[in-house]
Structure 1
Amino acid sequence: MPPAVSERPTRIRVDLDHLTFNLRSIRSHVGVPVMAIVKANAYGHGLVPVAQHLQKQGVEQLGVAFVEEGIALRQAGITAPVLVLGGIFGRQVAQFIAHDLEITVSSLDKLRQVEAAAEALGRKAVIHLKIDTGMERIGVHSYSARAFIEAAVASRWCVLKGIYSHLACADDPRSAMTLQQLERFFEACAHIERVGAPMPLRHLANSGGVLHFPDTRLDMVRPGILMYGVLPDAAAQRTIDVRPVMSLVSQVVYFKVVKAGNPVSYGATWAPSRDTRVVTVPIGYGDGYPRALSSRGEVLIRAHRYPIVGRVCMDQFMVDIGQDSAWNEDEVVLIGSQDGNTITAENLAQAAGIIPYEVLVGLNERIPREYSGG
């Protein structure tokens, strides 16, 4: 990394000890193996460093969205089982098999594509069947899965390791749909029992399922955002003790007094009613910090909360500190704690009108990441 980037005061701090704590907490709570989801750059925490740490902790499985993420893990020396959760194209299948990546098979046609590629390579493919129980995204509908499942069981070139579905509403503990999806999933799995084949790993519970629906935990769970210590939704209940893994910090880069009535930032959308002190912070929507936090977000400086004023710019934003004092290079906490005061990813999401997932995965590679613990 070039020195000009590594010296940037804005940075993401990743606490690997908190990641370890969360994995242990989830394992203890569910009592079954864990597939840790590390897609989307490990929810903004850094794909390879996070996966390397989880592998050291003995995580049973990793999950990614795309074959490219899986290949990046293999090239970094990750040997743990990796399931690619997303849909596949026939031309990609050889890459899955060559890099020992487990494949989501979501239709009879996809199964045939995988079989053909495996036969051509002379090497069996490890697959998980995707059943659609209500998301209407990818996967065979549970009510028409019989032929699909029977073909997978009978396949000569595919090793059937898992069968799974995805919960649409489990973030809400009052969701009636979740139990409907569980019923549909069991109906699909019953086809495996009918043909007398061994039952593969059944996995259904995402973060919401882990938190709220014990019956969905089955043979393995797939925590995503919960692994990083963040709740998936404002309706979610903290039934497991997890700790935030990410902090986002910067520093004051400029201080000035703004006269009453003088507007701040693009569009002149905010102006102080009296003379005030304003500091500039060098991070903006170009880094993935939400522009929706314009005149709505808050930061911590010297353990006090202060409002963002005016529009968030591409590379910086301004903060009104009133009549208080701040100095250039003072630490600014955007996510995290400072002397007992805390701003969470959930707080940012609520202020911006988005979900916590968007806060985490939106923070891009322009921000250096630092790792501690582990």
Structure 2
Amino acid sequence: MGRRRNGSDASLSQDRRRGGGRAGALPHEAAAVARAVVTSRHLRLEGVYGHPMTSYGFEDESYLLGQLRGFKQAITAIEAAGIAIPIRMVSSSAIVLGYPEADWNAVDPGRLVVGMSFPAVEERKAVWRPALVGLKSRLVLVKSLAEIGAVYPAPFLPLRPQMRIGLIPIGWSDGYPHRMPEGATALIRGQRVRLLGPSHSELLRVDLSDISDAAIGDEVVLLGQSGEDAIGLTELADQWGVTTRDLFPIIGKTLPHRYFG
């Protein structure tokens, strides 16, 4: 809490925690903290915000409901102290669809904005369009392994007759799994191709043996549509051995992004 560097007054939303052990005021402290804000010369109370601990690898409805009750207790205590609360918000992305009673007068849609859905009550069920719709690269190298001469065969790369491979500039530094998933595929010119391990930090191998005319510059689709075929989020998550929710933070912080309206 404090003044901005330019000396102007600052608005403040009180963060009220319900037992997760993170930052913020506990329920029994809420009224005192709010009082300290409204009596400050330099602060103004804009609202009270809570972020319940849920969807973090455990599901315990009784704990969630207890957190919502704690938030209500804090709001009641602040208002009983004669302090007005312009904004009251505790409904986060994991709560807004399943607990309408937690709406108060503001919600935090969070991960819903990018299409990551959560369990919903009947009246709030909807189809959410994922913001992540494509993961694509292009062939930067194409070469034949039909004749390797005296080169000692790589134990990780079983050779096929008239084998051709390609390279794409994406790897585990871009979010691809360190260990090549069994059965991992991509799409080139509408055809399925195998991805060949091991994964590298910035490169993946593609088996081009079944696409004789594949060339440098061809689009390689790891997620999305190519011709009549497509790899969706669920299939990609299954290949990688993660949930669809996990894909959003995993993929491509290092990669260029394209946004469509």
What's the TM-score bracket when you normalise by the shorter of the two chains?
Answer: 0.7 to 0.9
CA spacing shift, 1:121–1:312, aligned 2, 3 Å: same
Give RMSD over aligned pairs.
3.4
Superposed, 1:218-229 pairs within 5 Å as 218-229=104-115
Aligned mate of 2:84, from 173, 189, 198: 198
Partner of 1:329: 217
CA spacing shift, 1:299–1:137, aligned 2, 3 Å: farther
Partner of 1:142: 27
Partner of 2:74: 188
State the Cα distance separating 1:347 from its structure 2 match.
4.7
1:303 aligned to 2:175?
Answer: no
CA spacing shift, 1:218–1:304, aligned 2, 3 Å: farther
Cα distance in structure 1, aligned partners of 2:58 and 2:52? 12
State the Cα distance separating 1:224 from its structure 2 match.
2.6
| TM-score under structure 2 length normalisation | 0.77
Aligned mate of 1:130, from 6, 11, 15: 15
State the Cα distance separating 1:163 from its structure 2 match.
1.0
Cα distance in structure 2, aligned partners of 1:365 and 1:159? 37
Q: Give the SS at the match of 2:258.
A: strand
Deviations, residues 211-241 of structure 1 (Å, cap 9, x unaligned): 3332233222222332122347xxx569332
Partner of 2:51: 166
1:290 aligned to 2:176?
Answer: yes
CA spacing shift, 1:126–1:290, aligned 2, 3 Å: same
Superposed, 1:21-170 pairs within 5 Å as 111=1, 114=2, 117=3, 121-170=6-55
Cα distance in structure 2, aligned partners of 1:147 and 1:134? 18
Unaligned runs of 5+ in 1: 1-110
State the Cα distance separating 1:180 from its structure 2 match.
1.9
CA spacing shift, 1:189–1:251, aligned 2, 3 Å: same
Deviations, residues 80-139 of structure 1 (Å, cap 9, x unaligned): xxxxxxxxxxxxxxxxxxxxxxxxxxxxxxx3xx2xx25x85422111111111321211
For CA contacts below 8 A with separation 6 or more, give which structure has more relative contact order. 1
Deviations, residues 182-217 of structure 1 (Å, cap 9, x unaligned): 111111111121012222311222221233332233
CA spacing shift, 1:128–1:346, aligned 2, 3 Å: farther
Structure whose residues are more often helix by fraction: 1
Cα distance in structure 2, aligned partners of 1:179 and 1:127? 26
CA spacing shift, 1:329–1:140, aligned 2, 3 Å: same
Instruction: Say whether the 8 Å CA contact 1:284–1:312 is kept in structure 2.
Output: yes
Partner of 2:103: 217
Aligned mate of 1:252, from 128, 139, 143: 139
CA spacing shift, 1:130–1:290, aligned 2, 3 Å: same
CA spacing shift, 1:250–1:127, aligned 2, 3 Å: same
Percent identical across equivalent pairs? 28
State the Cα distance separating 1:341 from its structure 2 match.
3.8
Task: State which drifts further: 315-324 or 340-349.
Answer: 340-349
Q: Give the SS at the match of 2:178.
A: helix
Cα distance in structure 2, aligned partners of 1:143 and 1:341? 57
Instruction: Say whether the 8 Å CA contact 1:171–1:209 is kept in structure 2.
Output: no
State the Cα distance separating 1:345 from its structure 2 match.
4.8
